[in-house]
Amino acid sequence: MGGIGTGGGGDRPGGLKELATRHALLPLRLFLGITFIYAGIDKLTTSGFFAASGAGSVGEMMHGVRDSAAIPALVDLALKSPSGFGYAIALGELAVGLGTLFGLFGRVAALGGAFISLSLWLTVSWQSTPYYYGNDLAYLMAWLPLVLAGTPTFSLDAVLADRRRRMR
């Protein structure tokens, strides 16, 4: 009786174990890509989000976290132009999500996602106690494998790399 990892075919080249290893980051990539696309679209379609004040606005949120942020200067920078900051975050999330989902400039997209998550962790969710209640730190850690590995399978990056190899 063989199975995965018992010499029963799972370890052979092209076997199930190799296939699973090659595509191990795909579920993470799909989750992060879809989540960031959704977050960007949600911000872009929520009326009042880009306002400097008012319920549900980015300005109100930034004022609310200013004194508890790890780096209040980042919040102060955002408060200079809450609308501009809101659009930067929303469009950044959308670009990162699309790049990650389609695997186009995957490492760059993942680095952008890590940067957004780090910024939000140091500002918006810093006051979460205990720290693991805030989700931005978990998102930051989730981006790191994609920063390291990129998007090598089922991606436009893979298609472009294959095309470059064939042209040589």
119-159 per-position pLDDT tens digit: 999 999 999 998 888 899 999 999 999 999 999 999 999 99
Cα atoms in the Cβ-side hemisphere of radius 13 Å centred on 84: 6
Inter-CA distances, 68 with 33, 50, 75, 123, 155, Å: 29, 22, 10, 8, 40
> Where do we find the tokens 């930034």?
62
pLDDT at 7: 52
How far apart CA 83 and CA 6 sit, in angstroms, is 57
What pTM did the predictor assign?
0.88
- On whether the CB atoms of residues 72 and 66 are closer than 8 A, the answer is yes
43-73 per-position pLDDT tens digit: 999 999 999 999 999 999 999 999 999 999 9
- On whether the CB atoms of residues 91 and 40 are closer than 8 A, the answer is yes
